[in-house]
Structure 1
Amino acid sequence: MKKTLMTIGIICMFANNIFASEELLNNGGFTEVVNDSETMFGVGIGVGVSNSLYKGVDDKGYPIPLLDIDYGNFYVKGLDIGYDLFQNDVLAFSIFMNPLTGFKVKGSDLETGYKDIDDRELQAMFGVHMGIDTKFENIKATISVSGGEHGSRGQLALFKPYSPTDNFILIPSAHINYYSADYTDYYFGVDSKETFKYRPSNVKLRNSYSPDAGYSLGLNLTGEYRLRDDIALMAFLGIEKFSDEISDSPLVENDVIYLMGVGAKYYF
């Protein structure tokens, strides 16, 4: 059960790792194929492509480290480093940290009139993760809550894995992300000292903006194909829609992010 729930939870980590760079590379990992061994090592590399929420920031590709390590109760999955606390046939609990979470952007990358804002940086976040086998139509669920220097976030996700063949797994999923007011304020708020009054080059920032807590809704499709026991290929497609608290920010141009990625991993 531990490996099954970890597989379903990790299948979306690739999306979160892409999203971590806008969350992004960033809420994430490719698939871990079920393996009953308590010790497993997988390493690889992927690339993700996404548009940006922020005004004037071009679409970019991001390298994605694909780490898939189990050693006893310790694990590294994508950018998550964690420790399994408990697992049975229905539930699995773990604690984790992700050193690179958030919507990183440099003020200089924004369009003219916004370039003199303070840079928004990635942050380390620490949290708890729970995997649930609903026992209904092979649907799995994951719940995670984490916090860091610039606020907190949570996620509820539902997954349904399909295995058309022994070496191919396909997992559609849906999720909702919650972002605290501190989190949205840091990444999407505008401090009064960033406005035109104090920074004349920010001619398009006439007023400050302090958003409330927000959320996003997402759909993902992730797949892994095992070429052989020690080599796997992965691919991912996703879409994320953000709430008005985020999209109403004067720094934000798009309320929808489209993302995709491919990669390969070697197990030993």
Structure 2
Amino acid sequence: MKKAVILLMFISFFVYSKENFVKIGLGGFFRKDIYNFEDKYQFYPVPAVALQYESFYFIAPLEAGYHFYQNEDLRLTVYGRYNLFTGYDSDDFKDPLKNMDDRKDDLHVGLRGRFFLGPTKLTFTGFISADVLSESNGTLAGLEVAQPVPLGKKTLMAPFINMQYLSQNYTDYYFGITDSESAKLINTDPYTPGSSYKIATGIKGYSNITDNIELVFSGEYNQYSSEVSDSLLTRGSSNFSLLFGLNYKFGF
């Protein structure tokens, strides 16, 4: 298993809010990895840090953004996100894939729009972002639909479905095999995939245990297109993840 601690914060603003707050917490993240690593399942402790001040927000690991337009029905955001642990250390692969070159994480800058529809606040979220570190030189775009469902006064759950587009550069960088890498592997041809997509379904939500303490949770199942699943670097075409944690929240 990777000897790494993921700095990850699960935080969803299902409704429009001008509240200023800080959240700190701890939880756990469990997943079946899409890559053909020696360890099929991974578990990480999850420190949580989040800040919202007026139209600015920060979420660990490293996403910061600015809501340049927002009202009760629509919010538009410009953001930057450093995608920690998007890449891989080739030592985590099974033999002979350990001879692959490592892949680095990338930094994306993008735009996100979130629209809340009707009295149930059916939520549509779309985004587009691009790598600005010249690591993958890739582009991502996606659309998610979520339906918040209140369970009493303290708990909110939201089933969701989303589809994400991964550009050819992005897919090739993280799932391709170069000519030089192929020469180091046994009976392995180079692999240069085209653009790909991922469809995810799941549920996310939170429960306010007290005014300051909240339980957050999510579960997600991902299905990748053949451009990803046909790569020798991957283990099948799907994976899943579970996330849970406790946060302490205080306003200012």
Q: What TM bracket, shorter-length normalisation?
A: 0.7 to 0.9
Query: TM-score normalized by structure 1?
Result: 0.83
Q: Provide the identity percentage.
A: 23
- Give 1:63 shift: 3.0
Post-superposition Cα deviations, 1:82-138, rounded to whole Å, max 9, x if no partner, equal 011001232210111111256322111111111110112211111111001232753
Structure 2 Cα separation of the partners of residues 158 and 93 of structure 1? 16
1:105 aligns with 2:88: yes
Partner of 1:15: none
Query: TM-score normalized by structure 2?
Result: 0.88
Q: Name structure 1 gaps, 5 residues minimum.
A: 1-20
Partner of 1:183: 170
| Structure 1 or 2: more helix by fraction | 1
Judge conservation of contact 1:25–1:100 (CA < 8 Å) in 2.
no
1:127 aligns with 2:110: yes
Instruction: List aligned pairs for 1:28-43, cutoff 5 A.
Output: 29-32=10-13, 36-43=17-24
- Of 229, 233, 250 in structure 2, the residue corresponding to residue 251 of structure 1 is 233
1:145 aligns with 2:132: no
Amino acid of the residue matched to residue 239 of structure 2?
I
1:88 aligns with 2:54: no
- Give 1:177 shift: 0.8
Judge conservation of contact 1:30–1:66 (CA < 8 Å) in 2.
no
Structure 2 Cα separation of the partners of residues 66 and 222 of structure 1? 16
What stretches of structure 1 move > 6 A for 4+ residues in a row?
A: none
Structure 1 Cα separation of the partners of residues 189 and 217 of structure 2? 42
Judge conservation of contact 2:150–2:156 (CA < 8 Å) in 1.
yes
- Of 47, 50, 67 in structure 1, the residue corresponding to residue 31 of structure 2 is 50
| 2:97 partner SS | coil
Partner of 1:61: 43
Structure 2 Cα separation of the partners of residues 180 and 102 of structure 1? 19
Partner of 1:261: 243
1:211 aligns with 2:224: no
Structure 1 Cα separation of the partners of residues 100 and 122 of structure 2? 44
Judge conservation of contact 2:64–2:79 (CA < 8 Å) in 1.
yes
Change (3 A) 1:129 1:136: same
Amino acid of the residue matched to residue 223 of structure 1?
G
| Aligned-residue CA RMSD (Å) | 2.2
Change (3 A) 1:96 1:63: farther
- Give 1:252 shift: 1.1
| 2:72 partner SS | coil
Post-superposition Cα deviations, 1:45-85, rounded to whole Å, max 9, x if no partner, equal 22111111112341111233423311121101344210110
Structure 1 Cα separation of the partners of residues 163 and 85 of structure 2? 16
Judge conservation of contact 1:52–1:254 (CA < 8 Å) in 2.
no
Structure 2 Cα separation of the partners of residues 177 and 64 of structure 1? 24
| 2:174 partner SS | helix
Aligned residues: 240
Q: Name structure 2 gaps, 5 residues minimum.
A: none
- Give 1:223 shift: 2.2
- Give 1:32 shift: 4.7
Judge conservation of contact 1:85–1:94 (CA < 8 Å) in 2.
yes
